[in-house]
Amino acid sequence: MTSRLPRQTSSRTTGQTTGQTTGPSASTPKRRTVVKAAAATAVVVPLAAAPLAHAAENGPAFLHGVASGDPLPDGVLLWTRVTPTPQALPGSGNGPDTAVRWEISEDRDFSRIAGSGSVTARAASDHTVKADVRGLRPATDYYFRFSAGSAASSEDSPIGSPTGSPAVSPIGRTRTTPAHEATAPHVRFGVVSCANWEAGWFSAYRHLADRPDLDAVLHLGDYLYEYASGGYPVDDDVLRQHEPKHEILSLADYRTRHGTYKTDPDLQALHARHPVIAIWDDHEIANDTWSGGAENHTPGAEGDWSARQAAAKQAYFEWMPVRPATEGTVYRRVRYGKLADLHLLDLRSFRSQQTTVGNGDVDDPERTLTGRAQLDWLKQGLAASQARWKLVGTSVMISPVAFGSVPAHLLGPVAELLGLPKEGLAVNVDQWDGYTDDRRELLAHLTDRGIRDTVFLTGDIHMAWANDVPVKAATYPLPQSAATEFVVTSVTSDNLDDILKVAPQTVSLVAAGAVKAANRHVKWLDMDSHGYGVLDVTAERSQMDYYALSDKADPRATSSWLRSYRTLSGTQRVERAQQPVR
């Protein structure tokens, strides 16, 4: 996400499983863009009994919960982290190799075991483990658990049997995708982005965990933040401190920060209840990451960029239920039968460096956001898709944004919010606006090939939007838009009222009105709320229900429906829906 102020330096079925999957082998930042059901209860309740207050004094413990992700029709990726001894803290490198068993079952009592196996948690992988389970049935709920200790290496004794006294993890629930040729009636996702530990509580995750109706949760990036404590937000606004307290630079640092996040009970509940399909944005590495560096990285003072990037990616793949694609990237595809293909992008690993605002370089065809190979992969996948809906998970907004006539007293804050200069030039160089040739080529591909029903799902900007994606913004609505876009707000990261320290809508209605007036393809914009989205997809329409939290500073925050927008199949435009999907 673009910043505003100058930076100053100071496995498979029973008995078969894959091992650990990894990616490629303190200074405080001085600038930051601040925009940037009983079934459910049955799964989440065991988390309350997890030994969070005990540091494995009596043997191995599962202090960081369980997770699943990247579901397939016949499989899913299971994840956990075991703490074998009190000294084996995340990032420490301490602790012995430990055998971990996993089981997956069609019922929560584990009377119908669908698969089991073992894997070793090693200090070399920060004692995280993954099991890439196959041989499952499509579109089916499963329950899973892990054990470590005296009986964990036994293939003959089920977890929880009287043989020995192994430590047993909380129980997780997951779900496989429909068969590729199946006609699924609908698919429903929770959608989130931008969760800053220091800026608030993760109540949005709790509310999504409480929903039994989701197939998966899409996390569109900024799962964590790399800043030093008090760097963003500033010290006075910090609700709980990051660990480590300094800006994270080394592999140990990134591991420790991941471990801190996964002690949050609401985040643990989310991972225990739903499979998570995640991509990264910049803060999993460093602010405004590009292929050769980042705004929030000072060569020399903060070491070699390639080493820092490799460390961040390794920790990400260790700690997240994500299968790495080729070259340690996260772009990949998940299919939901004939209803929807989900194309997930990596918009940090291959991009050219951000140019300056107002610079004609934004139109340079030699500059890229996606990289040539990824853009070709996306175009080919969209053209070949037999699914009704083509969903594209993108960490930064594809719709263009012109600044418009914002009142003078809001010019600076709104410029900061939108990633624009205070002089009012109309380019957000960290998003697709800064790489217009990639966007032109992609949208031309959609229109030239007659590829319809494409919906971009976006995070990053700490605001909620519902947009048509125009081929030419200046002449919209002619020609017809090429796609539509739903942007979700942040879980906790600052937005307009947080920047100005005012009550929601005190100034945002004026600012949003000015932005909409200058961008006719923007149908709705909320600059103040924190929360999440729920995307419901049927053959007839894709609908995003937007939910807002009562107060991100309240760990018991309530959630309420805010608005809903949908795009009907074949229309290529967004319209308001009068109620959320029930």
DSSP letter for each residue of 41-67: HHHHGGGGGS-TT--STTS-B--S-EE
- The CATH label, of 3.30.365.10, 3.60.21.70, 3.40.50.300, 3.40.1260.10, for the domain at 186-577 is 3.60.21.70
Separation CA 560–CA 207 (nearest Å)? 10
pLDDT in tens, 224-274: 999 999 998 888 889 999 999 999 999 999 999 999 999 999 999 999 999
One-letter amino acid of 505 = Q
Mention every residue, 6+ apart, whose C-beta is less than 8 A from residue 380: none
Q: How confident is the model at residue 490 (pLDDT cuts 50, 70, 90)?
A: very high
pLDDT in tens, 301-346: 999 999 999 999 999 999 999 997 667 899 999 999 999 999 999 9
pLDDT greater than 80 at residue 411: no
Which of 18-22, 104-108, 249-253, 298-302 comes out lowest in average pLDDT?
18-22
pLDDT greater than 80 at residue 30: no
- Percent of the chain at pLDDT > 70 equals 82
The whole-number pLDDT of residue 479 equals 87
Q: With CA atoms as reference, report the closest residue to 540 among 453, 432, 446.
A: 453
State whether residue 110 is helix, strand or coil: coil
For the residues 83-103, what does the mean pLDDT come to?
97
pLDDT greater than 50 at residue 33: no
Tokens of 172: 């997780």
pLDDT greater than 50 at residue 563: yes
The Cα-based distances of 351 to 1, 282, 371 in angstroms read 13, 12, 6
What's the alpha-carbon Rg for the chain, to the nearest Å? Answer: 23
Separation CA 318–CA 21 (nearest Å)? 7
The whole-number pLDDT of residue 119 equals 97
pLDDT in tens, 497-541: 888 888 877 778 888 888 898 899 999 999 999 999 999 999 999
For the residues 165-185, what does the mean pLDDT come to?
95
Q: Which CATH class is domain 38-175?
A: mainly beta
The whole-number pLDDT of residue 418 equals 54
The whole-number pLDDT of residue 469 equals 98
Separation CA 155–CA 152 (nearest Å)? 8
Tokens of 416: 């900061």
Sheet with 531-538: strands ordered across = 128-133, 76-81, 66-69, 276-278, 216-219, 186-192, 531-538, 541-549, 559-568, 575-577
The whole-number pLDDT of residue 6 equals 31
Separation CA 254–CA 319 (nearest Å)? 10
Mean pLDDT for all residues in the chain: 87
Q: With CA atoms as reference, report the closest residue to 567 among 546, 549, 544, 545.
A: 544
Looking at the chain, the domain(s) classified CATH 2.60.40.380 span 38-175
More confident position, 214 or 11: 214
Dihedral angle, C-alpha 311, 254, 215, 12, nearest 10 °: 50
Tokens of 522: 């923007």
Mention every residue, 6+ apart, whose C-beta is less than 8 A from residue 467: 399, 484, 485, 486, 487, 521, 522, 523, 574
pLDDT greater than 80 at residue 1: no
For the residues 269-292, what does the mean pLDDT come to?
97
The whole-number pLDDT of residue 21 equals 32
Neighbours of 146 (CB within 10 A): 30
The whole-number pLDDT of residue 25 equals 33
Separation CA 376–CA 378 (nearest Å)? 5
The whole-number pLDDT of residue 424 equals 39
The per-residue b/e assignment along 191-215, b for 16 or more CB within 10 angstroms, e otherwise, is bbbbbbbbbbbbbbbbbbbebbebb
Q: How confident is the model at residue 410 (pLDDT cuts 50, 70, 90)?
A: low
pLDDT greater than 70 at residue 285: yes
Hunting for tokens 């397939």 — which residue is that? 72
One-letter amino acid of 405 = S
Separation CA 105–CA 213 (nearest Å)? 19
Alpha-carbon dihedral sign for residues 529, 530, 531, 532: positive
- Percent of the chain at pLDDT > 90 equals 72
Angle at CA of residue 196, ends 191 and 197, nearest 5° = 115
The whole-number pLDDT of residue 362 equals 85
Mention every residue, 6+ apart, whose C-beta is less than 8 A from residue 18: 11, 12, 119, 130, 131, 132
For the residues 97-108, what does the mean pLDDT come to?
97
For the residues 359-383, what does the mean pLDDT come to?
93
pLDDT greater than 60 at residue 578: yes
pLDDT in tens, 121-170: 999 999 999 999 999 999 999 999 999 986 554 555 667 554 457 899 99
Looking at the chain, the domain(s) classified CATH 3.60.21.70 span 186-577
Separation CA 330–CA 90 (nearest Å)? 23
Are the beta carbons of 290 and 348 closer than 8 angstroms? yes
Hunting for tokens 């004026």 — which residue is that? 510
Report pTM: 0.89
pLDDT greater than 50 at residue 79: yes
Most confident of 35-49, 54-68, 458-472: 458-472
The Cα-based distances of 363 to 194, 295, 359, 366, 479 in angstroms read 28, 21, 9, 9, 21
Are the beta carbons of 507 and 542 closer than 8 angstroms? no
Kindly report the backbone phi and psi dihedral angles of residue 300, in degrees, each rounded to the nearest multiple of 5, phi listed first.
90, -70
